Amino acid sequence: MVTTKDIQVLDMFMQAHDIPYVLTGTAALMVHGILPEGYVADDIDVIVLVNKKEDSHKFNQVEKTLTELQSLSGNEKCESYDVITFNANGIKVNAFMNGREYCKQEDGNTYNYVGGFGEEGLYRIMIICGRRIKVSCVNCILTAKFRLRRMKDYMFAKDLASTILNIGF
């Protein structure tokens, strides 16, 4: 189960290695307080904001660092979504890096990731355990989840709607 402390530890690592990223996925929904009843985040998803076409040296450096971590964690690269998987503070981290297509931080609080699930969206700076962390907006995360067309994401949406409808006002 992911905690805010796990996100803090990951952020400390990413900042120490100058790896720009946006927190996304279920862990980001947890931070937003929008998980359906009974759900917990069991991994951390991040989008690495480095574009290979614009800064190949930085991209290669980040990819090497994360691939070494992946190897030390005993994980294998998933080619289908350009994700590097490693462990941080005992928690599985999926770092989405797309070297073939477009991925970068835009002006203001927007980013583009055109890859396996095509997330394009906004992020907010949120304070998590005293650290300023870029976190994808809820609508961007949910849109990306639905683009994957996985049954678990449809069940998540059903349970989220049920949770929202059962909130007493």
What are the tens digits of pLDDT across the range 6-25?
Answer: 999 999 999 999 999 999 99
Question: Is residue 95 a contact partner of residue 21, using CB atoms and an 8 Å limit?
Answer: yes
Question: Is residue 114 a contact partner of residue 98, using CB atoms and an 8 Å limit?
Answer: yes
Is residue 58 included in any domain, yes or no?
Answer: yes
- The pLDDT of residue 66 is 93
Give the angle subtended at the CA of 78 by the CAs of 97 and 81, to the nearest 5°. 50
Phi, psi of 48 (to 5 degrees): -80, 125
- pTM score, two decimals? 0.85
Q: Is 27 exposed, middle or buried (0-12, 13-18, 19+ CB in 10 A)?
A: buried
Is residue 161 included in any domain, yes or no?
Answer: no
Contacts (Cβ under 8 Å, ≥6 apart) of 58: 50
Reported confidence tier of residue 81, pLDDT bands at 50, 70, 90: low
Q: What integer is the mean pLDDT of 133-162?
A: 85
Reported confidence tier of residue 149, pLDDT bands at 50, 70, 90: confident
Is residue 38 included in any domain, yes or no?
Answer: yes
For residue 80, what are the domain limits? 4-155
Phi, psi of 8 (to 5 degrees): -60, -45
- Domains in the chain, number: 1
Is residue 20 included in any domain, yes or no?
Answer: yes
Q: What integer is the mean pLDDT of 152-167?
A: 84
Provide the angle, in degrees to the nearest 10, between the axes of the packed helices 151-165 and 138-148. 140
Mean pLDDT of the chain: 83
Is residue 99 included in any domain, yes or no?
Answer: yes
End-to-end CA distance of the chain: 29
- The pLDDT of residue 124 is 87
> What is the CATH number for 53?
3.30.460
Is residue 36 included in any domain, yes or no?
Answer: yes
Reported confidence tier of residue 27, pLDDT bands at 50, 70, 90: very high
Determine which of 1-5, 55-59, 125-129 has the lowest per-residue pLDDT on average: 55-59
C-alpha 152/C-alpha 154 separation (Å) is: 6
Most confident of 40-49, 109-118, 119-128: 40-49
Is residue 167 included in any domain, yes or no?
Answer: no
Q: What integer is the mean pLDDT of 36-64?
A: 88
Contacts (Cβ under 8 Å, ≥6 apart) of 73: 85, 86, 87
Give the angle subtended at the CA of 134 by the CAs of 35 and 143, to the nearest 5°. 50
Is residue 113 included in any domain, yes or no?
Answer: yes
% residues pLDDT > 70 (the chain): 81
Provide the angle, in degrees to the nearest 10, between the axes of the packed helices 138-148 and 25-32. 150
